[in-house]
């Protein structure tokens, strides 16, 4: 018995619903976590996911932007959404599934992008991002995250040199600045979160999950970043058997998401 968990910033679930349905039919993850669903809860295409076999759903939506959701074809219970920074944003949802190795809570995050300037004194968006990460770290420090957790999502941070197309050129670009990467590394280290993507795809290999819409030929220029992540507590990570980044999804349609799905398998 095994379980697979996928994460995908879909950049509007209603706009790209056919693409998501094809992905579910072809790859059949047990659990799919979506970010930037860009709809309110009552607008989420619940019936379409049910018809695809994903009858268990947890949605934390928001009008026009943000929003996260988890859909599952295996039983999922005890849904929970946490608000960060008292901003009213829908950036977290979680649910508990029965994995082969025990009950596991899956958290789905959409961390703020942070705008263009990596300076909290002049850029409110970057301050929001730093405050969000600080609150996340505080939460992890004061709650029981020792066992039985998976966290996934669009973290909007590419933490390591081979998570970006050019380490030197992006050191001052939001998503790869030292203040962001060092804080994310600290969050990971303090709870011993295991990066199950890099567990199977070594750090010496370049790996991206996002390519800008501004690039006319995203594949040829290949100026990507690894902004999407799957982490787990060590007890879960020891059951991690494979991770796949579906790079080709960036070109699946004329209007794809700028992010691609990542699937991790546990058994």
| Model pLDDT for residues 49-62, shown as the tens digit of each residue | 999 999 999 999 99
Distances 136 to 85, 155, 201, 205 between C-alpha atoms, Å: 10, 11, 26, 28
For residues 117-143, give the mean pLDDT: 97
Return the DSSP state at 164. Answer: B
Cα–Cα distance, 258 to 266 (Å, whole number): 26
Angle between helical axes of 124-142 and 178-190 (0-180°, round to 10): 10
Task: Give the domain extent around 70.
Answer: 3-266
CATH of the domain at 72: 3.60.10.10
The answer to whether residue 137 scores a pLDDT higher than 90 is yes
Domain total of the chain: 1
The answer to whether residue 1 scores a pLDDT higher than 90 is no
Rg (CA), the chain: 17
Sign of CA dihedral 154, 69, 240, 263: negative
Residue 69 pairs in a beta bridge with 34, 59
Residues 6+ apart with CB under 8 A from 209: 224, 225, 226, 227, 228, 245, 259, 260, 262
Contact 109, 133 (CB under 8 A): no
In this predicted structure, what is the pLDDT of residue 215?
83
Residue with tokens 């546990």: 266
Distances 85 to 3, 91, 92, 121 between C-alpha atoms, Å: 33, 11, 12, 17
- pLDDT tens digits, one per residue of 148-189: 999 999 999 999 999 999 999 999 999 999 999 999 999 999
């Amino acid at each position: 018995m095994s379980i697979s968990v996928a994460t995908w910033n879909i950049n509007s679930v209603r706009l790209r619903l056919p693409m998501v349905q094809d992905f579910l039919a072809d790859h059949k993850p047990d659990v799919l976590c979506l970010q930037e669903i860009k709809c309110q809860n009552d607008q989420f295409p619940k019936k379409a996911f049910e018809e695809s076999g994903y009858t268990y759903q947890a949605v934390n939506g928001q009008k026009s932007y943000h929003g996260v959701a988890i859909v599952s074809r295996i039983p999922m219970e005890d849904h929970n959404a946490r608000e960060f920074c008292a901003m009213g944003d829908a950036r977290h949802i979680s649910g508990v599934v029965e994995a082969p190795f025990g009950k596991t809570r899956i958290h789905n995050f959409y961390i703020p992008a942070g705008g263009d300037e990596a300076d909290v004194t002049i850029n409110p968006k970057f301050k929001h991002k730093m405050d969000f990460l600080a609150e996340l770290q505080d939460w992890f420090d004061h709650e029981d995250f020792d066992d039985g957790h998976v966290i996934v999502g669009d973290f909007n941070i590419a933490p390591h040199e081979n998570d970006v197309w050019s380490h030197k050129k992006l050191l001052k670009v939001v998503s790869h600045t030292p203040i962001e990467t060092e804080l994310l590394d600290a969050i990971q280290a303090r709870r011993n979160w295991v990066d199950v993507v890099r567990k199977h795809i070594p750090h010496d290999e370049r790996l991206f999950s996002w390519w800008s819409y501004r690039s006319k030929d995203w594949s040829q220029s290949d100026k990507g970043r690894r902004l999407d992540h799957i982490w787990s507590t060590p007890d879960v990570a020891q059951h991690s058997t494979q991770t796949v980044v579906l790079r080709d999804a960036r070109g699946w349609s004329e209007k794809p998401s700028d992010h691609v799905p990542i699937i991790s398998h546990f058994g």
